[in-house]
Amino acid sequence: MKKMLTLAIETSCDETSAALVADGREVLSNIISSQIEVHKAFGGVVPEIASRHHLDQINRVARQAFDEAGASLSDVDLIGVTYGPGLIGALLVGLATAKTFAYAKNKPLVGVHHIQGHISANYIEHKNLEPPFIALVISGGHTSLVYVSGYNKFRILGMTRDDAAGEAYDKVARVLGLGYPGGPLIDQIAKEGNPEAIHFKRVYLEKDSLDFSFSGIKTGVLNYLNSEKQAGREIHTADVAASFQMAIMEVIVAKTISAAKCMNINQLAMAGGVAANSLLRKMLSAECIKHGLELFYPSPILCTDNAAMIGCAAYYKYKEGITDDLSLDAYANLEL
Ligand code: KG4
Ligand code: ZN
């Protein structure tokens, strides 16, 4: 039987991406054009510049996705696109492109929640993974623990009350003068540092809460740097990075294990850019072995923003009869 071919588009932040995915889990192409270099000079993503770059790149990226997959628009059965949450101007570029393709060839259109996409990235490389499982969604814009009871059924068990974990990494990297994006840079430099050199406060919130709070840790790092400077002491950046990471990850790992225990679920999956973090992978893997849980995570390229994950999610929405029409809008904020 002919496989169902999904064309997917993702432009919610600073990656312009198009992919072709067969039967939801087989990636034929996944082209990602990153704008990191463009935004580096500003220390973060500038929304207006991001929209312009998406406009500039989207046609080339889509064409390349077709070329690499050896397919044409006529072969496509379904079009999936991220419709939120994200930068509104950036989302609109992907949405307009997807709608144009859908209209031109009269193909079904499915809008995908960006976080559903991140979670779905796990299905691509783990062919046997099926719900139910607990997902730790951890990116530049989100940090939440989600109970995934079906391909399209989610319940938020806990989420950050302020900054996302990736946001904390990016902010701390900035005050350490490491550059942007901070996550991979801190991950790297922390390998040379001592995670016990400085004690930053672990924020667990109320007993049994699965919520997170990361806004205080940036202030903790800033206060430490200021007091060291005032005392005329040398700053060991690697030690600060390693200690910061450990303070964040200890809390994340503990709460993720708690979520699995309290829901009585033995499969855990990680999703989002910070899921690429080497310390998190190491710590969570060790804890999962200890607690008899099975851990899944995508390879780094599928952790950060990409269209293949959107194609996978669109396929499972379509299979359950969920489609959208051409009036589909983009939303900066959107609940899962
Ligand atoms: O999922 P993503 O590409 O975009 C959002 O949806 O936010 O995640 C980007 C975030 C950034 O904050 C980046 O610093 C962080 O993921 N990140 C990492 C690592 N790789 C990317 N954080 C920690 N360790 C990493 N290795
Ligand atoms: Zn993302």
pLDDT tens-digit series, residues 284-324: 999 999 999 999 999 999 999 999 999 999 999 999 999 99
**Which ligand has an atom closest to residue 178 CA?**
1
181: pLDDT strictly greater than 90: no
Q: Is the pLDDT of residue 180 over 90?
A: no
Which pLDDT belongs to residue 72?
A: 97
Same domain (yes/no): 49, 89: yes
Q: Work out how many domains the chain is built from and give that number.
A: 2
* Residues contacting residue 37 through CB under 8 Å, at least 6 positions apart: none
Mean pLDDT throughout 15-43?
93
Please give the C-alpha separations between residue 281 and each of 19, 148, 155, 262, 298, in angstroms, as whole numbers. Answer: 26, 20, 23, 21, 11
Task: Give me the domain span that covers residue 246.
Answer: 131-298
Residue with tokens 């999936």: 80
Residues 171, 191: one domain? yes
> Six-digit token pair at 333?
């904020």
Tell me the average pLDDT of the chain.
96
Predicted TM-score (pTM) of this structure: 0.94
SS3 216: helix
Ligand 1 pocket check for 14: Cβ under 6 Å: no
> 170 C-alpha vs ligand 1 centroid, how far in Å?
8
Q: What DSSP element (H or E) covers 21?
A: strand 15-22
On the question of pLDDT at 39 being above 90, the answer is no
Protein residues near ligand 2, an ion, with CB under 5 A:
139, 305
- CATH number of domain containing 288: 3.30.420.40
- Residues 256, 220, single domain; the answer is yes
Under DSSP, the state recorded for 131 is S
Decide: 276 in ligand 1 pocket, CB within 6 A.
Answer: yes
Q: How far is the C-alpha of 159 from the C-alpha of 211, rounded, in Å?
A: 5
For residue range 49-71, list pLDDT tens digits in order: 999 999 999 999 999 999 999 99
Helix (H, G, I), strand (E, B) or coil at 200: coil
Encoded amino acid at 7, one letter:
L
Check residue 7 and give its pLDDT.
98
Please work out whether the CB of residue 97 comes within 6 Å of at least one atom of ligand 1: no
* Whether residues 113 and 179 fall in one domain: no
Atom of ligand 1 nearest to the CA of 164: 12
